[in-house]
Amino acid sequence: MTDTADTVAADRALKARHRAMWAQGDYPALAADIIAGLGESLVEACGVGPGDRVLDVAAGAGNASIPAALTGADVLATDLTPELLEAGMRLARRRGVRLRWQEADAEALPFDDAAFDTVLSVVGVMFAPHHRRTAGELLRVCRPGGTIGLVNWTPEGFVGRMLAALKPYAPPPPPGARPPPLWGDPEHLRELFGDMVTDVRTERGTVRVDRFATPEEFRDYFKERYGPMISVYRANAGDADRVAALDRDMADLAARHDRGTEPGRLVMEWEYLLFTARRTA
């Protein structure tokens, strides 16, 4: 087997693991409960409107795709995980929204160059392991003068810190993979997109998360629904001490980010970066 064949096989295995990871739990329910407003915010920031050709990359269950379609845009939602797309289809039918859904890898999008007016993603492409390859695909399929719009968790924010806290318990990342929260660093985005974009705008915002009574309730909710956390717990399932330590770390992290003033009510502000830019010619 050649080196190239080895690389292809390793990449396929990696993507299969990612697909399985996001199929675990119930990410569509989590997204609806926690970040429902982020898709609408990004669609508005990108100026999506009737007739626009919109591609939502790593769309999940359509957090941004469905709001984009509600503007009258021609929307294609893509994701590596078909289970998430199926959940999105059901949600779109319930809301009476028409759009297209297609399984696709953010690092190898099966679309022509310059095929879309707007290319966007809400806390999605940040989890593709090879950042430069992914950014190159977003640029390639966006037409000159079109818009690229992203919402990503920041390294300094709660989710960035949560992913960092999970890392010591997780298997080593594959060669070349970079941490997802780097996509929430404006400098990293400038490095990725360079002079291929102009009119760059970045804005930090927060999602208020106040549905949990205690840090332990937050932890248990995510243990049941959030694929990356489920995978880490499963990787440590045979070691009771490590599972107990992971339980403590996740609850302690939430407790440190509690901004609430009422007993029995956990209040957190999760920081994200909203990025928009125009594709240069």
User: Can you give the CATH number for the domain in which 62 is found?
Assistant: 3.40.50.150
- Domain annotation covers residue 67: yes
Q: Return the H-helix or E-strand segment holding 272.
A: strand 268-279
pLDDT, position 229: 98
- Domain annotation covers residue 247: no
Count of C-beta atoms within a 10 Å radius of residue 71: 18
- Domain annotation covers residue 251: no
- Domain annotation covers residue 42: yes
Determine the Cα–Cα distance for residues 274 and 37; give it in Å rounded to an integer. 13
pLDDT, position 11: 85
At 17, list the tokens: 């693991």
64 in Cβ contact with 52 (< 8 Å): no
**CA distances in angstroms from 114 to 39, 82, 134, 209, listed in the order given:** 23, 25, 15, 38
SS3 at position 35: coil
Residue range of the domain that includes 84:
10-207+271-279
pLDDT, position 263: 87
Global pTM? 0.95
pLDDT by residue for the chain (281 residues), tens only, comes to 445 777 778 888 999 999 999 999 999 999 999 999 999 999 999 999 999 999 999 999 999 999 999 999 999 999 999 999 999 999 999 999 999 999 999 999 999 999 999 999 999 999 999 999 999 999 999 999 999 999 999 999 999 999 999 999 999 988 889 999 999 999 999 999 999 999 999 999 999 999 999 999 999 999 999 999 999 999 999 999 999 999 999 999 999 999 999 888 999 999 999 999 999 98
The total domain count for the chain is: 1
pLDDT, position 1: 41
Which residue has 């990293």 as its token pair? 188
SS3 sequence of 66-113 = HHHHHCCCEEEEEECCHHHHHHHHHHHHHHCCCCEEEECECCECCCCC
Strands (E), 123-196: 142-153
- Domain annotation covers residue 237: no
Count of C-beta atoms within a 10 Å radius of residue 13: 11
- Phi and psi, residue 206, nearest 5°: -135, 150
CA 15 to chain centre: 15
- Phi and psi, residue 195, nearest 5°: -85, 10
- Domain annotation covers residue 255: no
pLDDT, position 3: 54
- Domain annotation covers residue 38: yes
CA 124, 130, 132, 137 torsion-angle sign = negative
Determine the Cα–Cα distance for residues 214 and 254; give it in Å rounded to an integer. 8
- Domain annotation covers residue 92: yes
